[in-house]
Amino acid sequence: MKMKAQSAMEYLMTYGWAILIVIIVAAALFALGVFNPGTYTQSTATGFVGFNIPAGGWVMNSSGFTLILKNAMGFRINVTDIDMTYGTQASTGVTPDVTAYAWEMAPNAQKDFAIAGIDASTAGTSYTVDATISYTNLETGFAGQATGTITGTSS
């Protein structure tokens, strides 16, 4: 009976040390940021047919979301609205305010837009924002939309 108890105790001690080493390694990896998805999130803007968003042409922080749009359609447009969603947040307004032809963009023209209602409370948080840009073709009068997704890490 005595030998069985010693064997069981050695078995438990071996597994105990192995589990302790695994916990220490996991804690070290966590401290180095290996488990933070923001470490691996690449900043990308996909979709947005007719618009170019330059690399690094957006910023999301606790103040809100700022976006740079470039008209790549080859004709004059008037941006009429920009709607964005991030999780449960939805955009509540865009600066400058929409007035008649305030957002008129010639071909290859570029404008900055500040979108209210979308923000990140913590720097380093990865995000994915869905956006819809509504516009009017000033040559034909037809309305159109461009949709896309923007991913990155908040600053």
Question: 77 with 55, same domain?
Answer: yes
The structural domain count of the chain equals 2
The string of pLDDT tens digits covering residues 14-53 is 888 999 999 999 999 888 877 766 555 678 888 899 999 8
Domain of 109 in residue numbering reads as 39-153
Question: 108 with 75, same domain?
Answer: yes
* Cβ–Cβ under 8 Å, residues 123 and 29: no
pLDDT on residue 131: 92
Question: 69 with 88, same domain?
Answer: yes
CATH number of the domain where residue 62 is located: 2.60.40.10
Tell me: pLDDT of 5 over 80: no
Question: 54 with 90, same domain?
Answer: yes
Question: 109 with 125, same domain?
Answer: yes
